[in-house]
Amino acid sequence: MKFTAILSAAILGASTALALPTDLPEGVTLVPRAPRQNVRRSGLKKPVPASDVSIEGLTNNSNVEYSSNWAGAVLIGSGYKSVTGSIVVPTPKVPSGGSSSKQYAASAWVGIDGDTCDTAILQTGVDFYVKGSTVSFDAWYEWYPDYAYTFSGFSISAGDTITMTATATSTSAGSVTIKNVTKGKTVTHSFSSETNKLCETNAEWIVEDFESNGALVPFANFGTVTFTGASVSTSSGTVGVSGATIIDIQQSSTVLTSCSTSGSSSVGCSYV
């Protein structure tokens, strides 16, 4: 759930500057997401009313919830401290019937809170973009409802294995790490004294259709995204995804994803 705001003198004041972290690898900088994607933000998970759910042709959906912007798996419990998962970056495609002149996008991330807890989310992930035959990617992090930031200079290509981890050291502090296993590069960022507090009651592995200018972006055909090594550490140990709630994206009476868990450490989502 990425939240973006425009950083401008009109908002911040001509003499106000946003302090960016400096503990980054050489060649990696942070930039606000807003200048790259205009007014870009996402809300909390947006449920689809049960009366509006269209499940024709789908199977194994008795334990599925539907949302207009989230797909994946959510564990609901307590004492969640660190959530992790790895994906192989897909090659996004223009959806069937889409326009080659329009940009489509999707995001894959791991996070703590944002489902039943709506006060804050600690999250980090990777975006996929496609316009015609051109694809691009970026890595980002956020402590919602503050700004989301892109790790500029952190190279990502289709087929790369990316490991994402979000760790809460308290309800107001934590860190995120993204590792490009294929390229051998890692970026991290730490948070402290955050005003909006975590509940530590939700752990998520999500493919998202995020927002720009108050509306969901055109959703890319992301193929399949599978979170492997998916787990969350708690105050009493580490658990996998068994028993997680499955979420699929439905928009305009059309279900766009099919997600499931496999074993105790895998969450898979496919564009349908």
Which H or E element spans position 126? strand 121-131
CA distance 55 to 64: 10
Catalytic: which of 65, 142, 200, 208?
Answer: 208
Gap between the Cα atoms of 103 and 130, Å rounded: 6
Say if CB 200 and CB 211 are below 8 A apart: no
Distance from first CA to last CA of the chain, Å, rounded? Answer: 22
The structure tokens listed for 53 are 């759910």
What is d(CA 67, CA 204) in angstroms, rounded to the nearest whole number?
14
Residue 208 among the catalytic residues: yes
Phi, psi (rounded to 5 degrees) for 12: -95, -20
The set of catalytic residues is 208
